[in-house]
Structure 1
């Protein structure tokens, strides 16, 4: 799953949680004890579901980061001089940016 899809899933999950909590807050003052209990349970379920799904999204993002790091490590091991050149180029750019301050 791409970062964009994970980000969209995160936004959708947070929006769903916000809608559920808004419903609980808006309807809380005018409901009976039984209805309040039902709304409380609905809010708890939504929160738990969000936590579960957000944990899954975080794990997918972490896995894609680990995969990218592993590919970069393999590339540098396979082509060490390219890695040295890239490191030197990055160092040069950072040095130029720091010297301008």
Structure 2
């Protein structure tokens, strides 16, 4: 059963924004094809190398985030299964605190 916490949703949003940045940079690279000269070619090469590095970094970061998230979910599920009453008590306490904070507003 897949789960998404607010942290995972924020990380997914960040990755989507980064992917959009890469796509926009690729469009810029294609539009710069009209430029001529050695400087324009150097600029295109630098942009292409930068995009390649950004893609590799994004791929590594995404894999790392997924591994850490999975480990956190597994640890939480394990704790809840071994300590169900304590987990219910903690959840009730957090719910009570949130309820008190909301009603004071």
Q: What TM-score range do you get, normalising by the shorter chain?
A: 0.5 to 0.7
User: 1:57, CA displacement in angstroms?
Assistant: 0.9
Q: Bigger CA drift: 54-63 or 71-80? A: 54-63
Note if 1:90 corresponds to 2:97.
no
Structure 1 segments of 4+ aligned residues over 4 angstroms from their partners: none
- Which residue of the partner structure matches residue 9 of structure 1? none
User: Could you tell me which of 51, 65, 72 is aligned with 1:68?
Assistant: 72
Rounded to whole Å, the distance in 2 between the matches of 1:100 and 1:61 is 36
Q: Bigger CA drift: 82-91 or 45-54? A: 45-54
- Which residue of the partner structure matches residue 22 of structure 2? none
Q: Bigger CA drift: 80-89 or 41-50? A: 41-50
Rounded to whole Å, the distance in 1 between the matches of 2:69 and 2:103 is 31
User: 1:41, CA displacement in angstroms?
Assistant: 1.2
What number of residue pairs does the alignment pair up? 71
Note if 1:59 corresponds to 2:94.
no
Is there any run of 5+ residues in structure 1 with no aligned partner, and where?
A: 1-31
Flag the structure with more relative contact order, 1 or 2, with Cα contacts below 8 A and sequence separation at least 6: 1
TM-score, scaled relative to structure 1: 0.63
SS of the equivalent of 1:52 reads helix
- Which residue of the partner structure matches residue 26 of structure 1? none
SS of the equivalent of 2:70 reads helix
Rounded to whole Å, the distance in 1 between the matches of 2:59 and 2:98 is 35
* CA RMSD across the alignment: 1.8
- Which residue of the partner structure matches residue 43 of structure 1? 47
